[in-house]
Amino acid sequence: MNDSTKKNADGPGQGCNCDYSLAFLVLRAWLGLRALLAGIEKFGAYKTIQQPIIDPTTGQPDPNAVVDVKVKFYALANYAGVPAGLKSKFANEALLPGFALNLFDKVLGPAFIIAGVMLLLGIGTRTSLFVQGLIYTALTVGLILINQPDGISWLGIHVALVAMALMLAKHNKLALLKKW
């Protein structure tokens, strides 16, 4: 097999690696946004407000008819790294020490936000991906302990995507710090 045949046998994209770079960029964007928004959601809560019903004939609000509407809002005071329902399940788990649950609860949201921003900006891309892999692995361990098989499967997909992104990280073209 001569050199020109060997080049063609390697498949499309030989010489430019554009496909790999684009694949990594898509994974980086998805994983970065996923982490960032997961972290921001830890600060979300709902409040109920009353709004007047709009009269269909006049198009004006009817002050005598009101409806309760749930509105989502974000605030530091709303922070809950681990949802209250799961926190009580974890509190009853003998294999999960209370101090570890409290630490994880405090760190989870900020860790997601920092890792997501780092990944989106290309600052320490490999480090950010590794941290996300560790977060998803820790979440998986927690769900294994409380027997939540559906969540375990979803987190397994996240871990696979992180691993795939780490394998493609050498094709990272748009990054502020490429070393890490």
Q: What average pLDDT does the chain have?
A: 86
* 132 and 70 in a common domain: no
Residue ranges in the chain whose pLDDT is less than 50: 1, 4-11, 13
Residues 35 and 48 in one domain: no
> Does one domain contain both 160 and 94?
yes
Kindly state whether residues 95 and 121 are assigned to the same domain: yes
What are 67's strand-pairing partners? 51
Question: Which structural domain range is residue 118 located in?
Answer: 3-43+79-171
**Last residue of one domain, picked from the residues 54, 78, 102:** 78
pTM more than 0.85: no
Residue 1: per-residue pLDDT:
47
> What whole-number distance in Å separates Cα of residue 32 and Cα of residue 43?
18
Provide the pLDDT for residue 9.
41
Domain co-membership, 60 together with 39: no
Q: Are 173 and 25 in contact (CB under 8 A)?
A: yes
Q: Locate tokens 């003998």: which residue?
A: 94
